[in-house]
Amino acid sequence: MALLEVRGLEVAFPQGRRAEALALRGVDLDLEPGERLGVVGESGAGKSMLAFAILNLIAAPGRISAGSIAFEGRNLLDLSSDEIRKVRGDRISMIFQDPMMTLNPVLTIGTQMVETLQAHRRIGWDEARKLSIERLAQVAIPSSETRFDSYPHELSGGLRQRVVIAIALLTDPEIIIADEPTTALDVTIQAEIMSLILRLCRENRVGLILITHDLGVVAEATERLMIMCAEKVVEEGPTRAIIDTPDHPYSRGLLAALPQRSERGKPLNQIPGSMPGIADLPGGCAYHPRCERAYAGCHLEAPALEAHGPRRVACFRPLLEKAEA
Amino acid sequence: MLSLSAFTRRFLADPTAIGAFIVVAALVAMAVLAPWIAPHDPYDPLQIDIMDSEMPPSWMPGGEERFLLGTDPQGRGVLSTIMHGTGISLLIGIGAVIVQAFIGVSLGLISGYRGGWIDSFLMRLADIQMSLSTLMLAIISLAVFSAAFGPEAYAQYAIFFLILVIGVAEWPRYARTVRASVLAEKKKEYVDAARIIGLAPRIIMRRHILPNTLTPVLVISTIQVAEAIVTEAALSFLGLGMPVNRPSLGSLIRSGFEFIFSGSWWITLFPAIVLILLILSINLLGDWLRDTLNPKLRRGED
Amino acid sequence: MTVLVETRGLEMRFALPTHFLSREKPVLHALNGVDVAIHKGEAFCIVGESGCGKTTLGRAIMGLLAPSAGEIDFDGTRIDKLSEHARRPFRARMQMVFQNPYASLNPRRTVFDTLAEPLHHLRPELSGAELRKMVEVVMLDVGADPKWGRRMPHEFSGGQRQRIAIARALVTDPEFVVADEPISALDVSIQAQILNLMTKTREERGLTYLFITHDLSVVEHFGDRAAVMYLGQIVELANVEVLFDGPRHPYTRLLLEAIPKLDGGSFDQEHQPGELPNPVKPPPGCAFAPRCPLANERCHRERPNLSVTGATQVACFAVEEGRD
């Protein structure tokens, strides 16, 4: 049994007075201890929604309308708010895109780290301080003892994100969910932060769910990959396999559109049209209006995620033959 | 950005907003139509009879049907005076807000767009003005006007003085609101695009920035109308506002005040109720408008 | 090849707001002596991370900022000190596309008004019908439906808005377009569409582009020549193939290594935190020296200038001294 097993997760938001639209339409996710999973999709595909839903952080008027989230065997959705608080921030940590979402600008970093520790453990202030300073050093923050007393605004963006990572690792969690952790950072800082996250996850055997729109980042950082489109998973499997030989037309479209995959002087391979909003989904497969492989059947029924070799695809006409995949 | 249909939908969904709107609309209609629908003209000396003075409301002993809410010491019907008085109060309220908005928006635009010493100067001026109470400024200026022009001329032009004084006293609120919007809009790239074409600053301010600062202006305007009406009522109550022969709601309250303890409570009470209803409804409407037009409070219902 | 746009010794300093009683008057050095020469018809890219000054450079060239020192030429004429009246004939010839499609269109004006405005102001001799025709033509050019003219910006997606923004830049038939991170705010699948659009219009109209970006893969695909900037200076300048096949400057190499590649390998090496030095108190000497593995004593003392080294221009003592 996997460390984290999500089955059929659905998130609904009210649309007007009576109707509801689904911001997440039945997602399954498995994570083994220490495994690194990438979740890729464009804006509005539902990947952040997935992260928030796992930690039961969906704010009203949204709600989790179906599904289960089994962590170490227990369904997180059945837990009381006290019990889930023991999981959130302690066994499963989260890193956001904007460090200022995690860091309180009016408290020193040290205070926030100690607070986090004391919220989840019985630990005295001095010992918490020592532990925090050690962690700050582990994330390569120079002069960690003095930085302990700094305010967030005194640090640059890259250093702040390191602090956020340190806080996420303070309680030795089993899983870290990182939602676009480096999107707002410069490319050289991104490389630093990502190598740091990967090393720490490897050393401490922490599972990683990395949410991003950047295929290059997941290619470097993850072992398994989930591609989301229109609030559903369309392809899932080993990262290397998907990047080298994508199965779903959308996966191929995304990869082909990258300038890295284009020849100089030739137009980029673009995907026509744009993704519909959650209230305007077409019948059947949500991608079919943009798909070059669509046929009549794609409009009638939405394809389910089915095994196709070591991976799973939701498509009636996937790119790889059954034998090859 | 709220479309008209979404706006209407939200309005029809909120009973408080509908109620407040109905009350305001009714009072405004009453005021506008007063010359035609008031049972009497309280300011026509031929129509009033001193024998009718201090009659109680029609449902009480001693009251008559033709004076529904009773009469004041001069024999004027209280209902008629309220109908006309509301009109005066609204006129002053709206007039003052027009003056405030004109001055405040213009100065706020210039201050925000130009920046530099003009901005510092105007904002310090606004600070100084805001630290002086409007009421105090009004009292001083009106007393000076009254002394300078003499009581007859003052009585004749009182409505203009009041509009002017309340208008000029409150411009900083508009200026600050608009300036904040201008500072935010100035950073947006559509302003850069306008500058690249070579449009003059004056044109950019008027054509591009001004329309985008109007939402907060609309919101505070409703509440400012209520403020102005209350200020004028306070001034009239203190004797510095509208004269007795053209009273606003405040003056009516004042003229009836001395009769409260001698028994003719209706002369003060009814105008006071109407004033409170008016102010309350305008404020509720203004609050609702502010919440509705606040993009951060959007809750995914549209 | 004729030079269309040129800057010489361009400097930009901003006084930072301070408490009026404080004695220090900190100044932010956004540009520290930038020389570029953009040739007619080329796609010139400026690459760098946040704080390098690339956006400031674009804005200075377009006249949104007045340089603290240095000169800017357009088609042989010096334009940075012109009066509004004298600058006017140039405005129709140089236009800009901005990064944020949600802020670059006035939310209170229809699409048609936004597109017609440059023509109204810069080509007043056009009749109403001619103007409408030109707007329609440019909308079709960018793949927009002319019926969009009556609608307001908020009805459109990011990609569509960017098309409208490009249409606005092209409506006066300019020769030179500055594109400041035009695709960073868009979804990946839309980025390709917009880049293709920009390539197509460039070919059709013979445009010269100044393309400002932090995304090196776009530079490799789209650019002819590129300049890498760091803390207000150009550190390397070369044809794009040369830059990618053989980067010389240590910062360029760091940048290229750091790009996540689909084939993997960039995140294996861990680097010490390297932060941009403070642009208010730039270090004496080479700005990259504090982070540079090849820095020697001279690097910390003197500032290197761009000098030709083989097929590229590099501002680096290590390269000059053959230490790289």
- CB–CB of B195 and C87 under 8 A? no
Which pLDDT belongs to residue B296?
A: 61
Domain count for chain B: 1
Classify residue B72: in a domain, yes or no: no
d(CA B264, CA B62): 12
Which pLDDT belongs to residue B297?
A: 59
Strands (E), C62-217: 69-74, 77-78, 94-97, 176-180, 208-213
CA distances from C156 to A109, A187, A231, C161 (A): 41, 30, 21, 6
Phi-psi region of B228 (alpha: psi -120 to 50; beta: other; left: phi over 0): alpha
What is the tens place of the pLDDT at every residue in B2-30? 667 777 877 888 888 889 999 999 999 98
Which pLDDT belongs to residue B299?
A: 47
The chain B residue lying nearest C85, using CA atoms, is: B198
What is the tens place of the pLDDT at every residue in C79-89? 988 888 899 99
- CB–CB of B301 and A16 under 8 A? yes
pLDDT of residue A76 exceeding 90: no
| Pair C260, A190: CB distance under 8 Å | yes
Measured between beta carbons, the chain A residues lying within 8 angstroms of C271 are 188, 191-192, 195
- State the Cα torsion B228-B229-B230-B236 to the nearest 10°: 110
Give the contacts of C86 (CB within 8 A, at least 6 positions apart): none
| Pair A154, A191: CB distance under 8 Å | no
d(CA A185, CA A208): 19
Strands (E), C137-223: 176-180, 208-213
Which pLDDT belongs to residue C269?
A: 67
d(CA B174, CA B105): 6
- CB–CB of C121 and B189 under 8 A? no
The H or E element spanning position A22 is: strand A19-31
B196 closest CB neighbour out of C64, C106, C109: C64
pLDDT of residue C20 exceeding 80: no
- CB–CB of B301 and A17 under 8 A? yes
Closest by alpha carbon to B284, among B12, B54, B15, B1?
A: B15
Residue B148, classed as helix, strand or coil, is helix
- State the Cα torsion C114-C119-C125-C126 to the nearest 10°: -70
Q: What is the CATH number of the domain that holds B181?
A: 1.10.3720.10
- The label of the residue with tokens 């539902």 reads A46
- State the Cα torsion B180-B184-B190-B195 to the nearest 10°: 70
Classify residue B208: in a domain, yes or no: yes
Angle between helices B134-169 and B78-114 (to 10 degrees): 70
d(CA A185, CA A157): 7
Give the contacts of A251 (CB within 8 A, at least 6 positions apart): A227, A234, A235, A242
d(CA B236, CA B243): 8
- CB–CB of A142 and C273 under 8 A? yes
| Pair C251, C293: CB distance under 8 Å | no
Which pLDDT belongs to residue A106?
A: 92
Per the DSSP assignment, residues forming a β-bridge with A307 are A312
Per the DSSP assignment, residues forming a β-bridge with A224 are A37, A238
- The label of the residue with tokens 């039945």 reads A26
- Tell me the pLDDT band of B61, cut-offs 50, 70 and 90: confident
pLDDT of residue B123 exceeding 60: yes
Measured between beta carbons, the chain C residues lying within 8 angstroms of B197 are 91, 117-118, 121-122
Closest by alpha carbon to A223, among A193, A203, A243?
A: A243
Classify residue B65: in a domain, yes or no: no
Classify residue B75: in a domain, yes or no: no
Which pLDDT belongs to residue C272?
A: 64
Neighbouring chains of B at 3+ CB pairs under 8 Å are A, C
- CB–CB of B301 and A13 under 8 A? no
What is the tens place of the pLDDT at every residue in A141-156? 888 888 899 999 888 8
The chain C residue lying nearest B187, using CA atoms, is: C103
- CB–CB of C84 and B198 under 8 A? yes
| Token pair in block for residue A120 | 């989840």
pLDDT of residue C71 exceeding 60: yes
Which pLDDT belongs to residue B179?
A: 95
Which pLDDT belongs to residue A268?
A: 82
Which pLDDT belongs to residue B300?
A: 43
**Of C322 and C163, more confident:** C163
pLDDT of residue A137 exceeding 50: yes
| Pair A218, A258: CB distance under 8 Å | no
Which pLDDT belongs to residue C258?
A: 86
- The label of the residue with tokens 């018809």 reads C41
Classify residue B115: in a domain, yes or no: yes
A269 closest CB neighbour out of C157, C192, C258: C192
Neighbouring chains of A at 3+ CB pairs under 8 Å are B, C
Work out whether strand A92-95 and strand A19-31 pair parallel, antiparallel, or are unpaired: unpaired
Instruction: Indicate the range of B3-7, C155-159, C195-199 predicted with least confidence.
Output: B3-7
Which pLDDT belongs to residue A325?
A: 46
Which pLDDT belongs to residue B40?
A: 77
pLDDT of residue A310 exceeding 80: yes
A274 closest CB neighbour out of C157, C264, C269: C157
What is the tens place of the pLDDT at every residue in C293-312? 888 888 888 888 888 888 88
The chain B residue lying nearest C106, using CA atoms, is: B190
d(CA B23, CA B255): 25
Instruction: Indicate the range of A71-75, B204-208, B239-243 predicted with least confidence.
Output: B239-243
| Pair B101, B109: CB distance under 8 Å | no
Q: How many CB pairs under 8 A join A and B?
A: 10
Name the average pLDDT for chain C.
89
d(CA C35, CA C67): 13
Percent of all residues in chain A with a pLDDT value above 70, rounded to a whole number: 98
Q: How many Cβ atoms from other residues are within 10 Å of residue B147's Cβ?
A: 10
Classify residue B74: in a domain, yes or no: no
C45 in A contact zone (CB under 8 Å): no
Instruction: Indicate the range of A228-237, B249-258, C154-163 predicted with least confidence.
Output: B249-258
**pLDDT average, residue stretch B23-52:** 82
The H or E element spanning position B137 is: helix B134-169
Classify residue B30: in a domain, yes or no: yes
Measured between beta carbons, the chain C residues lying within 8 angstroms of A243 are 262
Closest by alpha carbon to A181, among A278, A36, A29, A27?
A: A36
Measured between beta carbons, the chain C residues lying within 8 angstroms of A215 are 188, 262
Give the contacts of B94 (CB within 8 A, at least 6 positions apart): B225, B228
| Pair A254, C189: CB distance under 8 Å | yes
Which pLDDT belongs to residue B301?
A: 40
Residue A77, classed as helix, strand or coil, is helix
| Pair C165, C104: CB distance under 8 Å | yes
Instruction: Indicate the range of A311-320, B211-220, B255-264 predicted with least confidence.
Output: B255-264
DSSP state of B290: H
Q: How many Cβ atoms from other residues are within 10 Å of residue B39's Cβ?
A: 14
Strands (E), chain B: none
Give the contacts of B230 (CB within 8 A, at least 6 positions apart): B279
Which pLDDT belongs to residue B172?
A: 94
pLDDT of residue C276 exceeding 80: no
C203 in A contact zone (CB under 8 Å): no
What is the tens place of the pLDDT at every residue in A192-211? 889 888 988 888 899 999 99
**pLDDT average, residue stretch A2-12:** 90
Provide the shortest C-alpha distance from residue C114 to chain B (in Å): 9
Query: Is the complex ipTM higher than 0.85?
Result: yes
Which pLDDT belongs to residue C160?
A: 93
Neighbouring chains of C at 3+ CB pairs under 8 Å are A, B
The H or E element spanning position A312 is: strand A311-313
Strands (E), A86-223: 92-95, 175-179, 207-212
Question: Which one of B185, B187, B188, B204 would you mutate to disrupt binding with C, by most C Cβ within 10 Å of its Cβ?
Answer: B188
H helices of A66-143, in order, are 81-87, 99-102, 109-120, 125-138
**pLDDT average, residue stretch A212-236:** 91
Residue A210, classed as helix, strand or coil, is strand
d(CA A166, CA C177): 44
Classify residue B201: in a domain, yes or no: yes
Question: Which range marks the domain in which residue B229 is found?
Answer: 4-40+83-297
d(CA C58, CA B159): 56
